[in-house]
Amino acid sequence: MTKRVDLFALSALPAVLYLLVIYAVPLLMLLTRSVTGAEGLTLAPYTAFLSDAFNWQIIANTLRVAGLVTLTCLVIGYPVAFALSWARGLAQAVLLLSIILPLSVGVVVKAFAWQIVLKRDGVVTAALMATGLFEEPPRLLFTETGLVLGAANVFLPFMILPIYSVAKLVDPRLTEAGATLGATPWKRFARITWPLTLPGVISGIAFTFSLSVSMYVIPSLLIGDRFQTLATLTGRSFLLMRNEALGSATAVLLLALAVAVVVGSTWFARRLGRAA
Amino acid sequence: MTATERLVRGLVWAMAAIGVVFLMTPLVVTVAVSFGSSSVFTLPPPEWSLRWYERLWTTRGLWSALGTSVQVAALSTAVSLVLGTLCAIALVRSRIPGREVIATFLVSPLMLPGLVIGIAMLQAFRALGLRDAFASLILAHVVLTLPYVVRTVLGALSLFDFTLIDAARTLGRSYGGALLRVLAPALLPAFLTSGVFAFLASMDNYPVSIFFTDAWTKTLPIQMLQYVEESPDPRIAAISTGLILLAVLALVIGDRLVGLKRLADF
């Protein structure tokens, strides 16, 4: 028996070794390389990057856009996740399909589609003009609004699915009990539904935020070169500018941001779990 | 149900309808444009036509990029299926310490920025003297497809009742025979589904592939992006429609094997 257990453990080795060599070690190398200069340990690339006011503008751009995308996804995604947990039959199939199908289509395809959608004579502009609120067609493509709209579209499933995974577990009898005990609908939401779905909301926010921070294709196609984020700067410094010192520093900043979001959200969700 | 509750329910359903339209917009627009005659993406198209599809035959670089993408996706998925399934079995059955840490490590490539993973690999491969674009793409894509296999197979294994194997052995099967006749059929749907979605993830990858392409070896998304920059015309929508069709096919297979609802498990 013990022999078989050892065999089982051994079969994990190939995958773990592969990831260590091809993935973990390169990431560690990137990290160590960015803090080693000619005379040993140095933080020079980071201090150089952070002492430039223009770069703070880039960091602000990155966080602002990611924040707006996450907020947009939460506002649309929360009710959609609930509708999905209530839906049965055809409605459920339609909702599931329109969440999973876009998720299975590549980001280049969707970003290109949004270029068409956001054009000055595109469908969104036509719809806005039809409301009669605009004197002349509003410019959307190559604006921050267009970028947020397109990115929110691409990342929305990553907000809906985690919320759905907890919303479907909420026992409807709890809110009924709240109603019987005289709680107003608002109070029932704030005291029962929201706290129960909070773990899903946190993981949805973590996914959408870290994806939006590191998006690269969507900004290149929807807003262009004038607007820089940490990710576009990182990509460009390797692919176009051949400035690898700068690119490595911003890559590590991106990595740190992503790890902070994942670790922070896990810690927060675990704390919630313990409190409940 | 009180009036307020009805109102809230109505608002939630209205938002769901808006959500469906919003999510489907890029796909519907892409397909519509690809079958239109207009070269400036007029919607709805003035008349329907297949001219953009006809032009695909003579589009430079398209078919070699498609070939590269399919080979990279097929090879990396095959490697991931073997490595990932073995590892998932180990994680469920063995008593190695830190199983959760290992599982998180294996799916972590999905949680970190692809761009950063790509850059790290680029520098490491260079340090090792590996300059071949195709080999680099395969090595990198195994890392990207492995999480899909580990996650899905791990999910299926945790639902599998391993006493069934003991039962098969009591009934006279050898240990290997029991694995083959009892475990394998139970795992097959998850195994195939994870393969399909791993393949799709590799086909669509952009942020990692961009660092491992050269003038001769380009994957389809990279080649498409080049077309977008050089000559954005509805041919790109026609290629996109092909990729959307591939995704539809993957969903049909996934639905048959494990059901749409299981695909939405997060």
ipTM confidence score:
0.91
Residue A116 to residue B43, Cβ atoms within 8 A: yes
Q: Does A80 touch chain B (CB under 8 A)?
A: yes
Q: By the 8 A CB rule, do A41 and A35 touch?
A: yes
Measured over the CA atoms of residue A141, residue A144, residue A147 and residue A153, the dihedral's sign is negative
Q: How high is the pLDDT of residue A1?
A: 46
Q: Using 50 as the pLDDT threshold, list the residues of chain A that sit under it.
A: 1-2
Q: CB distance from B50 to chain A under 8 Å?
A: no
Pairwise CB contact (< 8 Å): A11 & B266? no
pLDDT in tens, B2-60: 787 888 889 999 999 999 999 999 999 999 999 988 777 777 777 888 888 988 888 88
pLDDT of residue A81: 96
Q: Which residues are registered as beta bridge partners of A41?
A: A36
From chain A, pick out residues whose CB is under 8 angstroms from the CB of B247: 101, 104-105
B243 reaches A (C-beta below 8 A) = yes
A 241-270 residues with CB < 8 A to B: 244, 247-248, 251-252, 254-255, 258-259, 262
State the distance between the two ends of chain A, measured CA to CA, in whole angstroms. Answer: 40
Structure tokens at A114: 């949004």
Q: Name the class of domain A46-275.
A: mainly alpha
Residue ranges of the domains in chain A? 1-34, 46-275
How far, rounded to the nearest angstrom, does the alpha carbon of residue B22 sit from its chain's CA centroid?
22
Kindly report, residue by residue over A113-140, the tens digit of the pLDDT.
999 998 877 777 777 777 777 877 778 8
Q: Is B219 helix (H, G, I), strand (E, B) or coil?
A: coil
Question: Which residues in chain B are contacts of A153 at CB distance < 8 A?
Answer: 22-23, 25-26
DSSP class of residue A105 equals S
- Which residue of chain A comes nearest to B143, CA vs CA? A19
| Chain B interface, best mutation among A1, A29, A78, A105, by max B CB count within 10 A | A105
Residue B198: the pLDDT is 96
Handedness of CA A20, A229, B25, B245 (dihedral sign): negative
Q: Look at A19 and B106 and tell me if their CB atoms are within 8 Å.
A: yes
A161–chain B Cβ distance below 8 A for any pair: yes
User: Does residue B247 belong to the interface with chain A, where contact is any CB pair within 8 Å?
Assistant: yes
Half-sphere exposure of A30 (CA within 13 A, CB side): 29
Give the gap in angstroms from C-alpha A241 to the nearest C-alpha of chain B.
14
Q: Which of B84, B91, B145 is nearest to B117 (CA)?
A: B145
3-state class (DSSP) for residue A36: strand
Residue B40 — left, alpha, or beta (φ > 0 → left; ψ -120 to 50 → alpha)?
Answer: alpha
Tell me if chain B has a CB within 8 Å of the CB of A119: yes
Structure confidence by residue, pLDDT tens digits, A204-238: 999 999 999 999 999 999 998 889 999 999 999 98
Q: Give CA–CA dist B144/B138, Å, rounded.
A: 10
Architecture of the domain spanning B61-263: Orthogonal Bundle (1.10)
Rounded mean pLDDT of chain A? 89
Q: At what angle do helices A230-239 and B114-127 cross, to 10 degrees?
A: 30
Q: What is residue A190's DSSP assignment?
A: I
B119 with A248: Cβ contact below 8 A: yes
φ, ψ (nearest 5 deg) of residue A41? -60, 135
Q: Does A163 touch chain B (CB under 8 A)?
A: no
The minimal CB distance from B244 to the residues A30, A105, A217 is found for A105
B91: which chain A residues are within 8 Å (Cβ-Cβ)?
A: 12
pLDDT at residue number A6: 63
Burial of A130 (C-beta count, 10 Å sphere; 0-12/13-18/19+): exposed
Tell me the C-alpha distance between A54 and A235, whole Å: 17
pLDDT in tens, B88-129: 988 888 777 788 889 989 999 998 999 999 999 999 999 999
**Rounded to a whole number, what is the distance in Å from the CA of B18 to chain A's nearest CA?**
8
Of A8, A24, A160, the CB nearest to B93: A8
The verdict on a CB contact (< 8 Å) between B26 and A101 is no
Q: A251 is written with which tokens? A: 């890559």
CB contacts < 8 Å between A and B, how many?
268
Tokens read off for A233: 């700067």
What is the pLDDT of chain B when averaged over all its residues? 90
Q: Which of B80, B105, B119, B179 to mutate to test the interface with A (most CBs of A within 10 A)?
A: B119
The whole-angstrom distance between B185's CA and the closest CA on chain A is 19
The reply to whether residue B83 touches residue A9, judged by beta carbons under 8 angstroms, is: no
Q: Which residues of B are less than 8 Å from A262 in CB distance? A: 111
Burial of B172 (0-12, 13-18, 19+ CB in 10 A): exposed
- Does residue A261 contact residue A181 with C-beta atoms inside 8 Å? no
- Residue of chain A with shortest Cα separation from B44: A123
Closest alpha carbon within chain A to B90:
A8
Q: What is the dihedral of CA A19, B142, A239, A254, to 10 degrees?
A: -50
pLDDT (mean) for B49-78? 92
pLDDT for position B1 = 65
Q: Write out residues 153-192 of B within 8 Å (CB-CB) of A.
A: none
d(CA A38, CA B264): 50
Question: Using one digit for the tens of pLDDT, what is the confidence trace for B177-231?
Answer: 888 888 888 899 999 999 999 999 999 999 999 999 888 899 999 999 999 988 8
- Residue A181 CA to residue A162 CA, distance in Å, equals 30
Yes or no, beta carbons of B121 and A214 under 8 Å apart: no
